[in-house]
Amino acid sequence: MILDNLNPKEALGFLSWKLSRMLTNILTSLFVEMKVDVTVEQWRALIPIYKHDGMTQGKLCSHLSQEKTGVSRLVAALEKRELVRRVESEQDRRVKYLHITDKGRDLLESTMAKAMERHNEAVKHIDPVELAICKKVLWQIIEPTLDPDCIPLGIEDDRAVT
């Protein structure tokens, strides 16, 4: 049977899921320590809104690779916490523009350095060259599936990851 021969160390889906869970748990612990009242999912959603203030909620769906209903709930929670503000389009009431508030901006700016520090701690035992290769290969898997209008932040001008 196929299941008998599965090796988690060779299953890309398992490895990517496990890494994602590990990094999410690291951030969750950090936010508890810092007494930040936001989930990791909400925090991650703030980043593209911060970088592209005024983006549409539909564009956020593409950036997050999530369905409209899930993003709608996510944005509602951010709005309730006064981290973002939704503005309805005057031309099309179905279109919502997202703006980060001062409170949302402050939250990101006060947590980003620590979050990056924790991520760096998690991979400090890995040879930097091997880590760069790992990131490059993962990007080669991910890039063909992306919406061309939603290239992830930081690589809009240079699509190659080094």
Q: Specify whether the CB–CB gap between 55 and 97 falls below 8 A.
A: yes
Q: What is the mean pLDDT of the chain?
A: 89
Confirm whether 77 is domain-assigned.
yes
Total number of domains constituting the chain: 1
**pLDDT digit string, tens, across residues 109-135:** 999 999 999 999 999 999 999 999 999
CA distances from 90 to 29, 69, 94 (A): 41, 22, 10
Q: How far is the C-alpha of 79 from the C-alpha of 137, rounded, in Å?
A: 36
Q: Which domain holds residue 47?
A: 13-125
Q: Domain for residue 154, yes or no?
A: no
User: Does a structural domain hold residue 4?
Assistant: no
Q: How far apart are CA 133 and CA 139, in angstroms?
A: 10
Per-residue model confidence as pLDDT tens digits over 53-62: 999 999 999 8
Assigned domain for 27 exists: yes
Using the predicted structure, report yes or no on whether residue 78 has a pLDDT greater than 70. yes
Question: Is 144 within the bounds of a domain?
Answer: no
**Residue 121 is assigned to a structural domain of this protein:** yes
Q: What's the confidence (pLDDT) of residue 152?
A: 59
Residue 5 lies in a domain: no
